[in-house]
Amino acid sequence: MKRLATLVICAVLTGAFILLAGCDKLKARDQLNKGVRSYKSAQFSAAAQHFKEAVRLDPTLLTARLFLATTYQTQFVPNNPSPDNLRLGQQAIRAYSSILKRQPNNANAVAGIASIYFGMGKMKQAEKYYNQQIQIAPNNPDPYYTIGVIDWNASYKPRIAAREGFGITNPTKSFITPGTPRKVIQACKKLAAQNLPKVQQGLQMMHKALEINPQYVNAMTYMNLLYREDADLTCGNAKQSKVYLAKANHWFNRSLAVSKAVAAAKAKAAASAQ
């Protein structure tokens, strides 16, 4: 009899726990809906509070975690080093990371973290997550493109700094020309050894982005820029530099042609809709 009473009590308590858990899930959904309304009204502080409460009530509600991360990221301004802005970026990264602990291949979370690190200027971390994004969604051209941009920046900035250090301020003048001092030639070759692997990877990434989306104008623009890196880092090889500059010009002209075609198509579609 005593055992039966104990089983009845346990059953009642279990039922009560299930009811409470179900109630918390309903409350979490309510908080999620309130957060979405606040977010749509650009009331981001209120939205974040609602999403955090939704997560507290139902830790399994990944939609709330995703909206919380998105709310922080929406307020984050790329390339703004202010402490408050960086704090928003870190909050977004933590929120996205909490999703990845439960769903390691969540494409939105990976893309969000990659974008924030890129906006913070933390290119090594950004590239890591863009590569992870490629593993998850190999047919998305954007992560390939962005890694290519990272590679171009990694080559361009030190090259320009080195040129300016030697007084080469004319952007159309080659790094090495007839009569260039030996120390400048040596500096160029050292820079080429460091930068050319990045340039080659950048070109491969842009080619892949264009393979997926042949109309990707921004990728064409960076193909032009990356080939100009190649040209300047030939360090006096005029024949090879000419080849790279021809390729750069090809992509520059291609980007202009596609941009014009896209603009014309949009104008035609707009006129037809009237």
DSSP state letters, 95-159: HHHHHHHH-TT-HHHHHHHHHHHHHHT-HHHHHHHHHHHHHH-TT-HHHHHHHHHHHHHHHHHHH
pTM: 0.87
Provide mean pLDDT across the span 17-24: 55
Unique residue bearing structure tokens 């919380």 = 68
Listed in sequence order, the residues at least 6 apart from 255 whose beta carbon sits closer than 8 Å to its beta carbon are 217, 220, 221, 224
166-186, pLDDT tens digit by residue?
A: 999 898 889 998 889 999 999
Smallest CA-to-CA distance from 195 within 130, 239, 150 is with 150
Q: How confident is the model at residue 117 (pLDDT cuts 50, 70, 90)?
A: very high
Mean of all residue pLDDT scores within the chain: 91
Unique residue bearing structure tokens 């921004």 = 218
**CA distance between the termini of the chain:** 83
| pLDDT at residue 22, as a whole number | 60
How many other CB atoms are found less than 10 A from the CB of residue 89?
23
Q: How confident is the model at residue 142 (pLDDT cuts 50, 70, 90)?
A: very high
Calculate Rg over the CA atoms of the chain. Answer: 27
**Could you say which DSSP state residue 180 is in?**
-
